[in-house]
Copies of this chain bind each other. A is one copy, B any other.
Amino acid sequence: MEFQFSDKLREMKPSAIREIFKSLGTPGAISFAGGNPAPESFPVDAIAEISADIFKNNAAAALQYSTTEGYPKLRELVADRIKTKFSVGRDFDSTIITSGGQQGIELACKVLCNEGDTVIAENPSFIGALNAFRSLGANLVGVDMEEDGINLAALEETLKNTPNAKLLYLIPTFHNPCGTCMSYEKRVAVLALAKKYDVIIIEDNPYGELRFAGEEIPTIKSMDDEGRVVYCGSFSKILSAGMRVGFLCAHEDLVAKIVVAKQVEDVHTNIFFQMICAEFMTRYNMDEHVETIRALYRRKANRMLDALDREMPDCVKYARPEGGLFLWCTLPDHIDVSDFINRAKEQLVFVVTGKAFNCDENAGTHSFRLNYSMPSDENIDKGIRILGDIIRDMM
């Protein structure tokens, strides 16, 4: 039979990145397309040990329904950590557990935006968040990125001309897909603009713990003295992505409404892994663990940057990330990115087109995203060499 889908979902399709994953099973394939954390970053032995203890001592609670807000002990530990690390959380804020950072983003939009309301995002931006806004019927408007973050003049112009703008979605630290950070000055200015035009900011910070070079920059939430910023984070990049445990810190009035919306989505986040996170943070030194991940990604990023410096012609532009998982490359205007990506695919090297991250799905691109957390050192060298050869051949 023919289904009549809701207006908000009718045009939505599986993401371009998902489609790429289907090709990855091919033997010899080199993928720079994913966004997965390196599997060697998971503290498997510690998680296995904690897991055995939970089933021995606390099984009934770990397998039973739990509260929507999350495991109280984990909420406290997360609130403490984001306060210590990122100065996030004031008296009026509350911290809850979400099913990945993704759910926090989606819920914040759901409780604040009617269909047709505008969400402003950096352009390009994280496809999962953009699709969450689209799935709620939001009108999506992109503001172009510069090397030090969103273009401020363009942002103010957009805010001025968009009276129904409700939300401003930002990834200020190790942006996905750009890999760069918003400068301190821009963070201050963006918060001031949000106040002036009365929009709420979602500060998405899944990569914040992964700085491997440069200096920390204060989070926007750390400057939020009125509850205008919803801060989303996750254990996906520091403990395990598959367990789906994230968190959200926002004004308690907003959190109360988000809890109501979360309850009807999944009742609560799986409680066993909330206990695992809490126990890991209690028994082990999270800072030491995170330091090993930073060292790993520092090495991987440098390996990829060295390969790019060696293999890419000067006309290919890329910024040097100081953390996170991604590198963003821009080709000269006369090279068609789709042709380039197809030729790379023929040689079994997979990258994601910049088009996938555009707020306007019909806009073009000259860029593509590279991930360095998953491929082996050898595949980084080999894959980047192949990409460089293709580009030189297309010049």
User: A48 vs B65: C-alpha distance in the bound complex, in angstroms?
Assistant: 18
CB distance from A277 to the nearest CB of B (A): 12
A64, A128, A254 — most chain B CB neighbours (10 Å): A64
Q: How many residues of A contact B (CB 8 A)?
A: 85
A69 to chain B, nearest CB (A): 10
**A284 at the B interface (CB under 8 A):** no
How many copies of this chain does the complex contain? 2
Closest residue of chain B to A260, judged by CB? B12
In the bound complex, how far is the Cα of B389 from the Cα of A124, in angstroms? Answer: 67
Cα A310 to Cα B268 with chains together (Å): 38
**What residues of chain B lie closer than 8 Å to A23, measured between beta carbons?**
none
**New A-B contacts (17) at CB < 8 Å, excluding given A1-B226, A39-B63, A39-B64:** A4-B112, A6-B111, A9-B261, A12-B260, A14-B256, A14-B260, A35-B65, A44-B59, A48-B52, A65-B242, A66-B242, A99-B265, A99-B266, A100-B267, A103-B266, A242-B272, A265-B265
Would you list the 10 A-B pairs with minimal beta carbon distance, nearest first? A48-B55, A63-B240, A132-B264, A39-B60, A99-B266, A242-B271, A44-B59, A65-B241, A42-B63, A244-B270
Can you name 30 A-B residue pairings with CB atoms under 8 Å?
A1-B226, A1-B228, A3-B251, A4-B112, A4-B166, A5-B112, A5-B257, A6-B113, A8-B110, A9-B110, A9-B257, A9-B260, A12-B257, A13-B260, A14-B256, A15-B263, A18-B68, A36-B65, A39-B60, A42-B59, A44-B55, A44-B63, A65-B242, A99-B265, A100-B266, A100-B267, A128-B264, A244-B267, A270-B273, A272-B273
